[in-house]
């Protein structure tokens, strides 16, 4: 009797848009250790703020969805000290939503790196909910919408383990916007119409929150371009769902711009000086004078809320051409990651197969693997790692 030869397994690897592709672009070696080895970071401070932000905003929206007639904005925000008794919260207290998320994250071993970082997180979600909520929440059609699609891996000179890959993500907020009508006081709709002035009718607008500052439009700050790719790819994934409308644009909301600290203000001043930022104060305005006179350590809430909201909101038009460009970029990221997998299997050395390319000092400073990294941010290829200082 002739026995059939077992067919090789057909592998379709799954990639998350933010957890895999953007992480790989940030630092491929850090990505390998965290994702390929399932090693959680010992100090997950970056994870804490992102999840704290998204979780608190979602809880606030869920409450607003059912109770907005009884609880108009602004909402109070009482911050409970860690392990202190719960205060007498009002039902719409932002501090209550934040406390629920913070407690859940603490059970997962995720917490803020310091009391100052925790206080900053509370201030930022309070402003995001009270200042953006009145404009954003009424437009929300679906929150935390999961999207998924399959794409072909580009050809490679290396024999890869797959020909297709699965791409998935979560659209934090999906809005339904009617454009071309009379002007309203809705900030989100006005921002979309300024960037997409010729659209008329009902469209969807994808929104995502970023727990970071607004990037500058320079080659040394790749997060500007990567944010564009992320929005375009989300739009493609969403368009494949049968109930979707045409997608006019995507919006990235840089939450740190709502309460700019020294880092954000320095970034703004440099961007104005070299013309690499797209949102600047109006000439002759009080905001322009504040930015010009600012020095490290100055009060952070002097800038007008109107200017801070403009800095926080970035509208990215979505077209067929821009979407295809972004998809090709991420297809190439998958190809490179799959080539690294094959290279590691052949040579048996992680450091050689996943050589780091990080350019971000903040990513390096929070990385558990920086002490044996062959090339941290700002170091040349001949860098020799130094032993960590004794505690």
Q: What are 147's two structure tokens?
A: 């999207």
% the chain with pLDDT above 90: 51
158 has pLDDT over 60 = yes
Q: Say what the pLDDT of residue 193 is.
A: 86
Q: Distance between CA atoms of 387 and 283, rounded to whole angstroms?
A: 50
Instruction: Give pLDDT, residue 356.
Output: 79
Residue 37: DSSP 8-state: S
pTM for the model stands at 0.87
Cis peptide before 74 (omega within 30 of 0): yes
pLDDT of residue 355: 83
More confidently predicted of 16 and 300: 16
Q: How confident is the model at residue 391 (pLDDT cuts 50, 70, 90)?
A: very low
How confident is the model over 252-311, as pLDDT tens digits? Answer: 999 999 999 888 999 999 999 999 999 999 999 999 999 999 988 776 678 999 999 999
Task: Enumerate the domain spans of the chain.
Answer: 45-327
Distance CA 188, CA 136 (A): 7
Question: For position 265, what pLDDT does the model report?
Answer: 92
What pLDDT score does 216 carry?
A: 93
Q: What is the pLDDT of residue 219?
A: 72
**What is the DSSP secondary structure assignment for residue 148, as one 8-state letter?**
E
Mean pLDDT of the chain: 86
What is the four-CA torsion angle of 363, 366, 367, 372, rounded to 10 degrees?
100
User: Which of 214, 195, 303 is CA-nearest to residue 255?
Assistant: 214
Mean pLDDT computed over 12-30:
89
State the pLDDT at residue 70: 96
Please give the pLDDT value at position 162: 92
What average pLDDT score do residues 69-84 get?
A: 91
Query: How far is it, in rounded angstroms, from Cα 92 to Cα 290?
Result: 34
């Amino acid at each position: 009797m002739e026995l059939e030869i077992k067919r090789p397994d057909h592998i379709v690897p799954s990639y998350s848009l933010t957890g895999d592709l953007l992480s790989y672009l940030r630092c491929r070696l850090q990505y390998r250790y965290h994702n390929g080895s399932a090693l959680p970071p010992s100090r997950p401070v970056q994870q804490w703020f992102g999840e704290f932000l998204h979780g608190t905003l979602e809880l606030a929206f869920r409450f607003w969805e059912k109770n907005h007639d009884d609880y108009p904005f602004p909402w109070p925000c009482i911050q409970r000290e860690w392990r202190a008794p719960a205060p007498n919260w009002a039902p719409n207290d932002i501090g209550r939503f934040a406390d629920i998320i913070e407690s859940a994250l603490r059970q997962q071993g995720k917490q803020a790196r310091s009391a100052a970082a925790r206080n900053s997180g509370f201030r930022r979600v309070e402003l995001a909910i009270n200042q953006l909520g009145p404009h954003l929440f009424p437009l929300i059609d679906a929150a935390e919408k999961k999207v998924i699609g399959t794409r072909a891996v580009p050809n490679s000179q290396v024999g890869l383990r797959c020909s297709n890959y699965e791409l998935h993500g979560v659209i934090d907020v999906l809005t339904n916007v009617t454009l071309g009508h009379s002007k309203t006081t809705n900030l989100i709709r006005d921002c979309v119409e300024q960037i997409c002035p010729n659209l008329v009718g009902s469209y969807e607008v994808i929104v995502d929150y970023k727990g970071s500052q607004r990037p500058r439009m320079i080659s040394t700050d790749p997060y500007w371009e990567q944010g564009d790719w992320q929005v375009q790819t989300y739009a493609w994934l969403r368009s494949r769902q049968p109930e979707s409308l045409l997608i006019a644009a995507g919006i990235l909301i840089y939450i740190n711009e709502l309460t700019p600290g020294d880092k954000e203000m320095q970034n703004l001043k440099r961007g104005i000086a070299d013309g690499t930022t797209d949102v600047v104060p109006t000439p002759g305005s009080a905001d322009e004078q504040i930015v010009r006179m600012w020095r490290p350590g100055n009060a952070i809430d002097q800038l007008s809320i109107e200017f801070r909201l403009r800095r926080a909101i970035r509208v990215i038009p979505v077209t067929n051409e821009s979407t295809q460009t972004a998809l090709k970029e991420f297809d190439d990221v998958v190809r490179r990651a799959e080539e690294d997998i094959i290279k590691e299997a052949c040579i048996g050395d992680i450091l050689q197969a996943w050589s780091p390319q990080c350019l971000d000092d903040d990513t390096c400073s929070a990385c558990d693997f920086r002490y044996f990294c062959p090339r941290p941010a700002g170091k040349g290829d001949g860098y020799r790692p130094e032993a960590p200082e004794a505690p």
